Structure 1
Amino acid sequence: MTDAPLRPAGVPAGGSDDTSIPIRVRPEIAALPPYKQGKQADAGGFKLSSNENPFDPLPGVLEAVRAASALNRYPDATAARLCARIAERFDVDVRAVHVAAGSVSILAQLVLATSGPGDEVVFAWRSFEAYPWLAIVSGATPVRVPLTEDARHDLPAMAAAVTPRTRAILVCSPNNPTGPIVTQTEFDEFLTAVPRDVLIILDEAYAEFVTDPDAVDGMRVLGTKGHANVMALRTFSKAFGLAGLRIGYAIGHPRILDAARSTSIPLSVTAQAEEAALASLDAERALLERVHTIAERRDRVAAALRATGWRVPAAQGNFVWLPAGAETMDIAEAFDEGGLIVRPFAGDGLRITVGEEESVEKVLAIAASVVEDLPQAHPGRGLA
């Protein structure tokens, strides 16, 4: 007796030629690789691959999470208390605030709400790795616009890429994984070049780490510019150190947020996450002192990497970028062997999270050793 086939003979694959899938799956989804999280560091090593905050949660935040112990009850689906707190903080109507399980969840909701088959979603590339698959999952076409030579958004080129099929544009500032910001002036000019019925999503997941006074500020755009087609996204995962609880928020036009809510998975924000976010806002001063420490460490690491010979773009998140090009995977292995887990993007470069102070010396030593082996004309080499 032979084993039964995974798919009965004659059953089409829904356009996909992957016969390992026993049901009809959209071909673009079958071809889409699942999200792959960076591996955990071994004992004594450092995980510098996920842009996590290296500091443990503050005691008050932990107490708030422990107090939210009614695990047998559903959470408040609207996260009403947190929405009210954010609305008060940014002086907006509470209807203009939406809370979800991380800002990437809101990205997915907004793309689903605006874009489908035949539509286009425009974004810079390389940027946040989720952007292409968010478009593909919605059925839309991802439109990648190359970064400039200094790893920044090319906003004029992105505006030029807009067509009658464009439904959403994703702008990441600071850009993950390369680090530079979009300036307020650049963004204001960009707004005048984009049709008012195209959604512009300003992804500011790392806003609290920014020290460049010229950086775009989504709250300023929404508060003083009055652009109804702009949506600002922020998160508690990075600066506030709540990555494990998955909670982020958006501020923008209430009716656009209603559309996003219609595509969301109900009850996805846990009571523990909401309590932790509220407690984090109560402890914001102490948390931002930690952010200041990370930003100073980031600047020190970036300057030292440049001194060793790396061409490091302007770093304004909690990470630095090494444009390693074709040598990316080999260099990532060298870091791995040294007990440092970094995030490689094959063919482009490596993103290294600014982590514990104890990791800095190792990062610099390994980076200095591998840059010496790069060809003189390599795009990752600076002038040092």
Structure 2
Amino acid sequence: MDDPRQQPSVKTAPVKIRPEIASAAAYRQGRPAPIGGFKLSSNEVPFAPLPSVVAAIEGAAESINRYPDSSAADLVRRLAALNHVDDDQIAVGPGSISVLRQLITAVAVPGDEIVYAWRSFEGYPSVVTLNGATSVQVPLTDDGRHDLDAMLDAITDRTRAVLLCSPNNPTGTTLTHDEVERFVASAPRDVLIVIDEAYTEFVRDEDAVNGIAIIADHRNVVTLRTLSKAYGLAGLRVGYAVGDPIVIAAVRASGLPFELTTATIEAAKAALDAREELDERLEILVSRRNQIEAGLVDQGWQVHESQGNFVWLPTGDQTESAAEILEGHGIIARVFPEGIRVTVGERQSIEPLLSATAEIVRGLEN
């Protein structure tokens, strides 16, 4: 049943269900596009898998009667080399959100607090709730950025982790290296600081934080990265954490065996080997992002300069009508109470997107 109002009451459940689980909402996936339209709701790359990735998956199919390497040792070695760290500083899992769940499991018990900006990635509340911890949400600033001073003030003796999302999903804003350095230096050393960099490959701001550089000097910092976005493996789910070996050992211990399939591991290795092709695709998407943002500015939008593969439309209380206009132009975007996030997608989607946003602006002005 899709309507939460039609969900069975926990009082009628045949077994005892944790109250926080019974009241939790399932993750809301981006809607598919209609025929002839564009799905710009899930921040997926619009390109088909690289031939080398497809070949790796086909090759892996010959051994699916065997369990995969539970440690994904070869993939871990490649990720360590990519990020210039040691193998014992890498933990892999089925998507960075799963690795984040392992991190929270490793540090938090029921009643502990996890601090993060809001609005940010929709998966955060679920991860915190599933671990029995308590979310402490700190509102973004008016320009869609983390309010780091307020986040510091929100830390208590019950805080076990702080989540920093850069670029922030859905607003696209980044934290600077200096900002994060000051934040980490001011936060208690026994509080885990997680820098979620799911969109780091799309960043072109030279001042933006690079989590790998931060963890070199701070043992309580872990950065999260993924192969779902820039690497185009959203359908296979590969994410990883980089951090202190002791913290990473705890992350690994919090995972389940065989979470990455053989096909997933081989596809990830092939994607990492195709760096030149990846870079070409990244530059195409960054160029399209810049084209869309320039068009929005020309229309009068007050947009935050995005560093992800998406743009943020601050539609406020006109969000519902704006989403209807987008859909009327064949654009399915991700709708939030405060605004709309639109993925940078196919080249052919740009014209109908900008036509729709021009119509929205006219409506906002009336």
TM-score when scaled to structure 2?
Answer: 0.95
Partner of 1:79: 72
Name the CA distance, whole Å, in 2 between partners of 1:262 and 1:342. 37
SS in 2 for 1:372: helix
Partner of 1:218: 211
Partner of 2:59: 67
Name the CA distance, whole Å, in 1 between partners of 2:65 and 2:327. 42
User: Which digits, 9 at most, give the CA deviation of each residue in 1:7-52, with x for residues without a partner?
Assistant: xxxxxxxxx9643533321222111111121221122111000000
Residues 1:44 and 2:30 are matched in the alignment: no
1:323 is displaced (CA, Å) by: 1.1
Unaligned runs of 5+ in 2: 1-7
Q: Show the 5 A alignment for 1:56-205.
A: 56-69=48-61, 70-205=63-198
Closer/same/farther in 2, CA of residues 20 and 35 from structure 1, 3 Å limit? farther
User: Which digits, 9 at most, give the CA deviation of each residue in 1:196-241, with x for residues without a partner?
Assistant: 1000010000000000000000111123xx2000001111000010
Match of 1:232 among 214, 220, 223: 223
How many aligned residue pairs are there?
A: 358
SS in 2 for 1:281: helix
SS in 1 for 2:11: coil
Q: Show the 5 A alignment for 1:200-349.
A: 200-223=193-216, 226-345=217-336, 347-349=337-339
Match of 1:25 among 2, 10, 17: 17
Is the contact made by 2:225 and 2:241 (CA closer than 8 Å) also made in structure 1? yes
Match of 1:360 among 337, 340, 350: 350
Name the CA distance, whole Å, in 1 between partners of 2:84 and 2:357. 45
Name the CA distance, whole Å, in 2 between partners of 1:302 and 1:264. 40
Name the CA distance, whole Å, in 2 between partners of 1:192 and 1:280. 36
Closer/same/farther in 2, CA of residues 309 and 21 from structure 1, 3 Å limit? farther
| RMSD (Å) for aligned C-alpha atoms | 1.4
SS in 2 for 1:298: helix
Partner of 2:340: 350
- Give structure 1 regions of 4+ aligned residues with deviation exceeding 4 angstroms: none
Match of 1:370 among 350, 360, 363: 360
Name the CA distance, whole Å, in 1 between partners of 2:256 and 2:302. 42
Name the CA distance, whole Å, in 1 between partners of 2:126 and 2:84. 34
Name the CA distance, whole Å, in 1 between partners of 2:167 and 2:220. 20
1:375 is displaced (CA, Å) by: 5.0
SS in 1 for 2:364: coil
Closer/same/farther in 2, CA of residues 267 and 308 from structure 1, 3 Å limit? same
Whichever residue aligns with residue 77 of structure 1, its letter is S
Closer/same/farther in 2, CA of residues 19 and 361 from structure 1, 3 Å limit? same
Name the CA distance, whole Å, in 1 between partners of 2:322 and 2:65. 47
Comparing both structures, which one devotes a greater share of its residues to helix?
Answer: 2
Is the contact made by 1:239 and 1:288 (CA closer than 8 Å) also made in structure 2? no
Name the CA distance, whole Å, in 1 between partners of 2:141 and 2:186. 19
1:315 is displaced (CA, Å) by: 0.4
Name the CA distance, whole Å, in 2 between partners of 1:194 and 1:21. 43
Kindly indicate whether structure 1 or structure 2 has the higher relative contact order, using CA contacts under 8 Å at least 6 residues apart. Answer: 2
TM-score when scaled to structure 1?
Answer: 0.91
